[in-house]
Amino acid sequence: MSLDRFVPPTPVVIDEVLQDPDFVYEIARRGAPYSCVQRYLKNLAEMSALSDAGRGAADDSAQAFIAPWFRGDWARDTALVDGADTLLHLPAFVDGARKLFGAARVRPTLVYANFNPPMPAVDPGHLDVPAFRGFDRSTQPVWLLVAMQKSGLFESWRVKQATAVAWFYTGEGGGFTYWPEGPDAPPVRRPCVNNSAVVGDNERMFHRVQRIGPRGAELPGGLTINAGLHFDGDHYEIRDGGQMLYRWPRAHVRISVSWKAHVFVDRDEEKRFDDHSDDLTPSHVRRVFADDLARRGIAHKLEADFGSDLDSVRTISDTYQRSPTVFR
């Protein structure tokens, strides 16, 4: 099967996102506190479907190591935090999405922010969570959606999504590595330029965060899934169980704002999305996977609840796993 599905359209660079980048810090203050990004993953088996960072553990049923990576939603179709509607409908992002896909129909859907304190690079490269007609993260586990994308079996149902990633950070490190020619080709290593952005098809383009902070920065550890990042305007604090574990000045924490939009090449594509005339169903997805596993000679029966069955998670993850192989 061709791996062209991992070669996205050429990303679009935005040199200046906002006239006043401090606006983002105001929204960050209003949206705090922020939860650990791994809250939506149950175990290492699910994590391994998203990234090789979850592989190699002796027991896939164990809870994944809790990284100091925090996230919060600022908008979902409409603003969830005061002021986020400005980012949701930012003309620079909408224009970038049109250029990326050569499409006129762009529907902004989501704005969320990632917060990363000083830490070494821990991600070997991942894909964002895709959406398919009738099958998206509102009802399905994220590991399954990413596995569907990596398999290439559901491309006919994939909803094109443009993702703008904008950075608000002036400290050391914090760059962005991405693989615009596929995971087996050399990547682009982009430095973290404050108030800039890259618009890409991040459900097809592998990407990762580089080291944040000075070389030799240690990975903050000892966190549980309940750890949260709190913001007082001048400092960020990681608190867990009512205890303050780590504290950094605002300038030491890298903020990346991700904006997503559904993009439709033509009216017919948009109509199929709206009228649900060609949606996937759980039984259809299970049948497609089961048929392909059988074709590959893999003896594994997918039950109706395969989306939450640990053996099925592991089988599908191992069968369709892809990750970058070239890093320079």
- Amino acid residing at 55: R
3-state secondary structure of 92: helix
190 forms beta bridges with 176
pTM reported for the whole predicted model? 0.89
Beta strands in 192-249 (DSSP E): 196-200, 207-209, 228-231, 235-240, 243-249
216 Cβ neighbours under 8 A, 6+ residues apart: none
| pLDDT tens track for 154-182 | 999 999 999 999 999 999 999 999 999 99
Rounded Cα distance between 171 and 189, Å, is 17
Rounded Cα distance between 132 and 145, Å, is 8
Fold classification of 4-280 (topology level): Jelly Rolls (2.60.120)
Domain ranges of the chain: 4-280
Rounded Cα distance between 294 and 301, Å, is 9
Rounded average pLDDT over 107-131 = 94
For residue 232, what pLDDT band results from cuts at 50, 70 and 90?
confident
Whether the Cβ atoms of residue 143 and residue 46 lie closer than 8 Å to each other: yes
| pLDDT tens track for 24-46 | 999 999 999 999 988 766 556 56
- Which residue has 């002796």 as its token pair? 58
127 Cβ neighbours under 8 A, 6+ residues apart: 50, 146, 149, 150, 202, 203, 204, 205, 206, 207
